[in-house]
């Protein structure tokens, strides 16, 4: 019998092939990105006990056969995200999360931090409100940057080293904040609640409940700087980002 491998992972993609098979892409804390072949998955709903649905956390057993991909032998569901009549906005945000995870994960490369971010972000998507996606999207992105180790320290001033609890100016995406003691406040100065939110997301990615941040020039600055940092690590355009952008156009 070919050797078998057990793993826990989150389903980020399904690709139907042939008449009944599906290539399932997983992100695992210990194994990184894993693509497995689920034979006959589209013919029998009972074959894998509902454990290959998109945005599901599953326990899987794979077997390396003669083909290029390992075969999924069995799977069981650990947690299901966005399976209770999700809105279009929730699905768009979750798809964005999955695409980011696909870009950052690597085969056979353990990344517990990325896995923690992915799980927390999908849980956040379940509570996202259709008309208020801007704040959770920003939280997801900041947490993603922190998981990759490229998010600057936003809790200390880059000039004096003191805390930025009173707000700060973010002039350089790759640097950090300049506190209000070192630079005169302006309409684009990040407010204390916004700074606290950014710092919180960088410490516990997407984990805590996120209250909607009011639209402002400072919020747009934060979004632009985060987008610049994302461009360093995800240079290619993401299809889900287009859907999110269209939804955000209608927010106040």
Going by pLDDT thresholds of 50, 70 and 90, the confidence category of residue 32 is very high
User: Cα separation of 248 and 222, whole Å?
Assistant: 15
Average pLDDT, rounded, for the chain:
89
Residues 6+ apart with CB under 8 A from 151: 142, 145, 202, 229
CB 101 within 8 A of CB 59: no
CB 123 within 8 A of CB 143: no
Going by pLDDT thresholds of 50, 70 and 90, the confidence category of residue 195 is very high
Going by pLDDT thresholds of 50, 70 and 90, the confidence category of residue 222 is very high
> Which sign, positive or negative, has the C-alpha torsion 80, 19, 69, 45?
positive
pLDDT tens for 124-158 read 898 888 888 998 999 999 999 999 999 999 999 99
pLDDT tens for 80-110 read 998 888 999 999 999 999 999 999 999 989 9
Q: What's the pLDDT score for residue 68?
A: 85
Beta-sheet strands, E only, within 162-232: 168-169, 178-179
Going by pLDDT thresholds of 50, 70 and 90, the confidence category of residue 210 is low
**Bridge partner residues of 37 (DSSP):** 23, 71
Q: Can you tell me the mean pLDDT for 232-240?
A: 90
Residues 6+ apart with CB under 8 A from 44: none
Q: What percent of the chain has pLDDT over 70?
A: 94
Going by pLDDT thresholds of 50, 70 and 90, the confidence category of residue 5 is very high
Provide the CB-side half-sphere exposure for 43 (13 A, CA): 8
What are the structural domains, with CATH classification, of the chain? 4-80 (2.40.50.140), 88-248 (1.20.1440.120)
pLDDT tens for 200-209 read 888 776 555 5
pLDDT tens for 152-179 read 999 999 999 999 999 999 999 999 999 9
Higher-confidence residue of 50 and 21: namely 21
């Amino acid at each position: 019998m070919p050797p078998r491998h057990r793993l826990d992972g989150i389903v980020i993609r399904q690709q139907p092939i042939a008449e009944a098979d599906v290539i399932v892409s997983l992100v695992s804390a210990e194994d990184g990105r894993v693509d497995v072949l689920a034979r006959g998955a589209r013919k029998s709903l009972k074959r894998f006990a509902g454990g290959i649905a998109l945005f599901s956390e599953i326990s899987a057993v794979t077997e390396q056969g003669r083909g290029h991909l390992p075969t999924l032998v069995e799977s069981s569901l650990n947690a299901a995200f966005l399976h209770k009549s999700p809105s279009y906005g929730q699905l768009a945000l979750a798809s964005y999360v999955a695409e980011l995870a696909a870009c950052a994960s690597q085969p056979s490369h353990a990344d517990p931090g990325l896995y923690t971010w992915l799980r927390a972000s999908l849980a956040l998507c379940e509570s996202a409100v259709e008309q208020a996606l801007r704040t959770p999207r920003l939280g997801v992105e900041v947490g993603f940057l922190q998981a990759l180790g490229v998010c600057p320290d936003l809790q200390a001033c880059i000039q004096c080293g003191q805390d930025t609890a009173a707000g700060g100016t973010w002039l350089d995406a790759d640097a950090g904040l300049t506190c209000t003691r070192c630079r005169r406040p302006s309409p684009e100065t990040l407010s204390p609640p916004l700074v606290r939110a950014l710092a919180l997301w960088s410490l516990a990615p997407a984990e805590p409940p996120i209250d909607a941040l009011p639209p402002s020039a400072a919020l747009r600055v934060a979004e632009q700087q985060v987008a610049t940092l994302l461009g360093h690590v995800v240079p290619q355009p993401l299809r889900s980002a287009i859907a999110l952008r269209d939804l955000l156009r209608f927010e106040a």
